[in-house]
Amino acid sequence: MTYQSPISPGISWYEASVGERPRYAALAGDTSADVVIIGGGFTGLSAAAHLAKAGVDVVLVEQHRFGDGASGRNGGQLNTGQRSGIDELEKELGWTRAKALFDLAEEAKAHLLDFSRANGIEIDYRAGHMSVAHKKRYVADYRAYCDYLTDRVGYPHVSFMDAAETEERVGSKRYFGGMRDMGTGHIHPLKLVVGTARVAAEAGGRLHEETGVTGIEAEGGKVRIRTATGTVTADRALIATNAHGKDLDPVSAAHIMPIGSFIGATPPLGDASPVLPGGESVDDSRFVVRYFRRSADGRLLFGGREIYAAASPSDIRGAIRRQIAEVYPDLADVELTHAWGGYVGITMPRKPFMREVKPQVMSIGGFSGHGVMLANFAGKLYAESVSGNRDRLKLFEDLKIPPFPGGARLRPLLLYLALNWYALRDRI
C-alpha cells in the first residue's frame, strides 16, 4: 500500500528564489520514537518543531522533499479567520464556538509571525489583503461582512472599498468593490517550510526526506509505520499528508480530496506599475478563486486555474496568462518566467479535518485553501495534545466533517462534476 503525491511539473518561483534547500537523509533501518509524523509540509514540520523543542523524541518521514507539496507551492496568503466566514459559523455553531474558532485563527496568524521572528526565518511577510467582488450583486455582501467583522466580532483591521477605491488599489477595472484587511498579509511559503525544518532538526527532531510510507499499523498500544528502507515504531503517530495521502488511510481519503491549483509568475513589473501599488494580496469572489499578489522582487504571482483530477493540465502557462489578461489587459502579452501547481486538500464543508483515525493515530488536513496560516498552527495544537492539553485541538476535532459521497471509485467523478458545475456558475 503506497501513497502517491501528484506533484505538478514546473519549477516554482519559490523554489527558484529560496536558494539551495538542505537535504535530509532517507530513513535507513528500523528505529523507535515517542511520535512518528508522516508528511513534511506545514503541519508535520510544525508539529515536529514544537514536539522536539518540548523534549519529545520525534521522527518525521516525507516521501518527496520538504515543500514539494502544497506547503511550498501555494499562494502564500494568510487571510483572516477560518475558511468559512464567522457569520456562517455563528449560524451553524452558535456564537461561542464560532468566536472561539475565529480567535484560534487570529492566534494562528500571530503565532506564524512570532515563530518566524523568534527563529530567524525570513518569510518576506508583507501586510495587507483584499477580497474583491467579480460581480456587482456580491458587493452588498462584502459591505455587510465588513460591518459584521467590525461591529460584531470587534476586528478593527477591515474597511469596505467601493468600485473606485478597488480599481485604484487593485490596479484593475475588473472588480466592483470589496474589503481591505490590514490585519493580515502574505509570505514566501517555501522559506517558512525550509526554516521550520531547520528549527525541528536543530531541536533534535529526526527528519527524513525521500522516505515513502508503505503501511501503517496500530496495535498493542504502539503504532508502526513501514517504508522501503525501514520501520518506525512509536507510541503515537500523526498523518499530515493532506491532499497526498491517497491509500495510506481510507478514513482520511474519504474526508479529504485533492484539487489542483496553478500559479504563474511574471518578470518583475517595476515600481511604476499600477498593479497592486500598495502591495496587498488579493482573492476574488469566484468559487474557483483567483488569487494574486506582488512578490518581494515585484513580480505578479497569479493563481486560479484549478482541476479536480490527479493529472496536471497540459498548458498551465496559457491558462494563467488568459486569466491575467482578464484582470490586467495591459499584461495580455506578458511572458511567465515560472508556472507551477500543487494539490490542496479540501473537505465537504471547507473546514479542517482533524480526527483520530486509528488508536493513537491522528490525521490532520483538509484546510481547503486556508492552510498557510492554519496548517502551521495545527501542528502546534497537535504538539500540545501530546503534552496533555487537547482542549484546543478538540475545537477542530468536534467539527462535523462528512465524507465525500460515492465511495473510493465514484468519489473523484462526483467531485469533478460538482466542482465544475460551480465553476460554470462563476461565468454566468
For helices 42-53 and 189-202, give the axis angle rounded to 10 degrees: 30
Residue 369 binned pLDDT confidence (cut-offs 50, 70, 90):
confident
Q: Tell me what the mean pLDDT of segment 120-149 comes to.
A: 98
Q: What is the pLDDT of residue 260?
A: 81
0.85 surpassed by pTM: yes
269-314 confidence digits (pLDDT tens): 999 999 999 999 999 999 788 999 999 999 999 998 655 444 455 6
Mean pLDDT for 69-80 is 94
Average pLDDT, the chain: 91
Mean pLDDT of 6-15: 72
What are the pLDDT digits (tens) for 224-281?
999 999 999 999 999 999 888 777 899 999 999 888 889 999 999 999 999 999 999 9
User: Beta strand pairing status for 281-284 and 126-132?
Assistant: parallel
Rounded mean pLDDT, 124-129: 98
Map out the domains of the chain as residue ranges: 13-73+190-257+352-423
Is 357 in contact with 363 (CB distance < 8 Å)? yes
R_g (Cα) of the chain, nearest Å: 21
> Given a cut of 60, is residue 83 above it in pLDDT?
yes
> The domain 13-73+190-257+352-423 belongs to what CATH superfamily?
FAD/NAD(P)-binding domain (3.50.50.60)
CB contact at 8 A, 205 and 54: no
| 416 vs 362 pLDDT, higher one | 362
Euclidean distance between CA atoms 283 and 18, whole angstroms: 24
φ and ψ of 122, to 5 deg:
-85, 110
Q: List 37's β-bridge partners, or say none.
A: 60, 238
Which pairs count as long-range contacts for 62-65, CB under 8 Å and 24+ apart, including other chains? 62/207, 62/208, 62/209, 62/210, 62/211, 63/3, 63/5, 63/210, 63/211, 63/212, 63/213, 63/244, 64/5, 64/7, 64/209, 64/210, 65/21, 65/23, 65/40, 65/209, 65/210
Q: What is the pLDDT of residue 5?
A: 37
> Does residue 428 register a pLDDT over 70?
no
- Compute the CA torsion angle 295, 298, 304, 310 (nearest 10 deg): -60
338 has pLDDT over 90? yes
pLDDT higher than threshold 60 for residue 210: yes
- Residue 167: closest CA among 201, 208, 132, 121: 132
> CA–CA separation, 142 vs 167, rounded Å?
16
The residue that leads in pLDDT, 116 or 289, is: 116
Alpha-carbon distance of 125 to 116, in angstroms, equals 10
pLDDT at site 328: 98
User: For residue 7, what pLDDT is reported?
Assistant: 40
- Confidence category of residue 417, pLDDT binned at 50, 70, 90: low
Please name the amino acid found at residue 58. Answer: V
